Amino acid sequence: MIGFFIVVTYPKVYNQAMLSRKYRATRPNIEETIKTGVSIFGKFLYAKISRKEAEKPGFAIVISKKNEKTSVGRHLIKRKISSYIEADLSKINPKFKKTVVFFIKKTEGPLSYKEMKKDVEFILEKVAF
């Protein structure tokens, strides 16, 4: 009997892990930031920044099912944004102790990752540098 194997290959994703735990925002900080935070808008993203100082800097990424239907797509976007944030962590002011929550805007066409990277850099530059 001859067996058939289906081989599924996925594109290699380099350096796109989630943010390390020490840079993730806690749930109470995220909820407070969403309710009372200051908004900064980019082309594909917008962010809410907490008004109060936290004990450490924290980042969170929220992607609605309205923006991306599949969980695979949502996690891919989260990993991309996380890698962009992690690339800019060395530039962040050491005195920065706020929570930043990133949201995806509803767009008509596909998301442009280059534009998304520019949005992340723009938001972080305005907030944390």
Q: What is the pTM of this model?
A: 0.80
pLDDT surpasses 50 at 10:
no
Question: Which of 1 and 75 is assigned the larger pLDDT?
Answer: 75
Q: What is the pLDDT of residue 12?
A: 47
More confident position, 107 or 2: 107
> Using CB atoms within 10 A of its CB, is residue 73 exposed (0-12), middle (13-18) or buried (19+)?
middle
Alpha-carbon gap, residue 7 to 84, rounded angstroms: 31
CATH of domain 21-128: 3.30.230.10
Confidence class for position 15, pLDDT limits 50, 70, 90: low
pLDDT at 100 (0 to 100): 92
Going from N- to C-terminal start, the domains of the chain cover 21-128
Edge-to-edge, what's the strand order for the sheet holding 45-49?
38-41, 45-49, 99-104, 58-62
Local confidence band at 16 (pLDDT 50, 70, 90 cut-offs): low
